[in-house]
Structure 1
Amino acid sequence: MTPRRRATLRDIAAALDLSVNTVSRALAGKDAVSEETRERVRREADRLGYVPNTMARSLVLQNAMTIGLVITNPSNPFYARLISAIEARGRVHGYSLMLMVTEDSVDNERRVAEELMRWGVDGVLAVPVQHGTEHWERLGKSGTPVVLLNRDLPGLDADLVGVDYRDSARRATELLVAAGARDLYLVEEDLDISPVAERVRGFRDVLAEHGLTVGDDHLIKVPTRRREASSQPWDPIDSYAIGRDLARRVGPGSAVLAGNDYFALGLYRAFGEHGLRIPGDVAVVGHGDHPFAAYLAPPLTTVRLPAAQVGATAVDRLLELMARPGARAERDVSGSPRQILLPAEVVVRASTPEVP
């Protein structure tokens, strides 16, 4: 079957015996076209199924009206909410979204950056793999502004919009200490990324301030399955095995801060099988406030991440940079790129004891 040829402005003009320029002006709502002619053009465009050629328009105006969004894994609930917020905010300003996924692969990220350059997107929001800056630098030199999302990339002259993970871990750890915990563990993913490093810093900050010391065996890295399967960034089984070992070590006054709610889910099962009560024997706090967190038994105390706010703020910052082509972005007094870190909220539920 031969595909139907796409209707053009020239087809509409020929059908109505009008010039192509008149048809173009009528569809664009420009002046110097009567309302009667405008209505005739609209009806004929509908009859022919005319759709404006956005790519051709972009070549003429040198404006694609498209934002590139590069993320590591769309099944991560945080990134799913982030995508929705970015799409909604961009749509308000007339921008479409081109979504690219890297699965935490540097090779994929390099390929994605090259594709975005070829497509000529107006700006890029990127959750970086955090290894290598050359491809992002080339994109920036081509005139396409780049704003980092959620993860920092040292060495790249680009702004960052994300969550204040150090503060979120601080406040979650403060809650556990205030509730009486003295033997604290941090269960984190094994990726070398800035959110993990910042949560470790926040956790350690609070312990140092309260004179509590922890050994390396209290900072537990979970060997995640990210490199084996792309459908799910985490799996409770990743932390379940660790939880079974941890259940034999914890005692009165113990508490665990998990880097995400999926890790907490695996710990729940391991602790339950070992006969430990939450929070009576061990308190648990998660990160993410995923939909299941409130329905665990007991409901999970966790950190609610401001995904929608991060997305909207990042789009606004990118639009600022896009509005000043060739101009150097505003920097802080040190001359460094701007970092906009938004606070998270600790949602207290029944997996932690009440604070006296």
Structure 2
Amino acid sequence: MTPRRRATLRDIAAALDLSVNTVSRALAGKDAVSAETRERVRAEADRLGYVPNTMARSLVLQNAMTIGLVITNPSNPFYTRLISAIEERGRVHGYSLMLMVTEDSVDNERRVVEELMRWGVDGVLAVPVQDGAEHWDRLRKSGVPVVLLNRDLPGLDTDLVGVDYRDSARRATGLLVDGGARDLYLLEEDLDISPVAERIRGFRAVLDERGIAVGADRIIRVPTRRREASSQPWDPVDSYAIGRELAGRVGPGSAVLAGNDYFALGLYRAFTEHGLRIPRDVAVAGHGDHPFAAYLGPPLTTVRLPAARVGATGVDRLLERMAGEGAPETTLFPAELIVRESATGTEAG
């Protein structure tokens, strides 16, 4: 079957014996066209299945009305919420969203930046791989504003909107220490990215302040699967294997803070199989407040990340830069500590 040709303004004009200019003004709701003519034009447009050519309009107006969004992996629940917030906020201002995924590969990121330049997007929101800023700087110097989300690039003179991960780790670690923990572990990703570095700093800061030794073996880096497959940012099997080894070392007065709730999920199974009780024998806390966190046994104490707030603010900041307003600034939002039974033995939030 031959594909049906896309209906144009000329098709509508020919069917109604009107000029293309009149049809265009009628569809745009211009006052110079009578209500009767506008109604006839709209009815014929519906009959023909006419859809405005946004790309052609962009060429005329030199404005794509499109925001590029570059993220590392859409299956991360944080980024799922981030995407929704950005799309919603952009739509309010008449902007469409072009989503690009890098899988934490700098080669993919460079290719994505080139594609965004070719498409002529109006601005870009990006979660960078954090392996070089030259391609981002080239995009910015071409006249396309860039606002970074969740991860910093110190070599790039642009805005950053994200989460205060140092504070989130401080608060979670402080809760564990206040509950009596003195033998603490931190499970983190093996990626060299700013959220991980900031959580490690927050964890260390609390223990230093409380006079608790932090040995090198207390900060454990968990292999990430994102370099191998795009289907899942983390896999509980990695932390499960680590948890089985930890189970022989931990006991009353021990606690583990996980950099994400998937790591905590693996720990739960390993500790339970070893006969350890959470939190009586070992307290556990996570990061992310993923949907399953409240339904674990016991419910998981975790940190709820302000993904929607980061996304909406990122769009607002980008629109300001697209309008030539303001100077680059950094905005880090606090996370919310959700206290449940895994860290205290009582439900508190």
**Length, aligned pairs only:** 346
The Cα offsets for residues 92-129 of structure 1, whole Å up to 9 and x where unpaired, read as: 11111111000000110000000011001111111100
Deviation (angstroms), 1:354: 5.4
Q: Find the counterpart in structure 2 of residue 313 from structure 1.
A: 313
Residues 128 and 152 of structure 1 are in contact (CA less than 8 Å); yes or no, is this contact kept in structure 2? yes
Give distance in 1, aligned partners of 2:153 and 2:83.
Answer: 20
| Segments of 4+ moved more than 2 angstroms | none
Q: Find the counterpart in structure 2 of residue 344 from structure 1.
A: 335
Cα-Cα RMSD? 1.1
What is the 5 A alignment of 1:196-235? 196-235=196-235
Letter in 1 for 2:238: D
Give distance in 1, aligned partners of 2:156 and 2:234.
Answer: 28
Letter in 2 for 1:108: N
Deviation (angstroms), 1:8: 1.0
Letter in 2 for 1:341: L
Give distance in 2, aligned partners of 1:126 and 1:353.
Answer: 37
Residues 279 and 345 of structure 2 are in contact (CA less than 8 Å); yes or no, is this contact kept in structure 1? no
Give distance in 1, aligned partners of 2:219 and 2:314.
Answer: 32
Give distance in 1, aligned partners of 2:130 and 2:212.
Answer: 32
**3-state SS in 2 of match to 1:207:** helix
- After TM superposition, the score normalised by the length of structure 2 is 0.97
Give distance in 1, aligned partners of 2:31 and 2:141.
Answer: 39
Q: Find the counterpart in structure 2 of residue 171 from structure 1.
A: 171
Give distance in 1, aligned partners of 2:91 and 2:139.
Answer: 23
Deviation (angstroms), 1:273: 1.3
Deviating more after overlay: 132-141 vs 281-290: 132-141
Give distance in 2, aligned partners of 1:207 and 1:307.
Answer: 28
What is the 5 A alignment of 1:1-356? 1-324=1-324, 329-330=326-327, 337-353=328-344
Give distance in 2, aligned partners of 1:123 and 1:303.
Answer: 31
Q: Find the counterpart in structure 2 of residue 333 from structure 1.
A: none
Give distance in 2, aligned partners of 1:200 and 1:272.
Answer: 26
**3-state SS in 2 of match to 1:266:** helix
Deviation (angstroms), 1:252: 2.0
Deviation (angstroms), 1:251: 2.6
| % same residue | 86
Letter in 2 for 1:290: H
Letter in 2 for 1:193: I
Residues 168 and 344 of structure 1 are in contact (CA less than 8 Å); yes or no, is this contact kept in structure 2? yes
**3-state SS in 2 of match to 1:287:** coil
Give distance in 2, aligned partners of 1:264 and 1:307.
Answer: 20
Deviation (angstroms), 1:61: 0.4
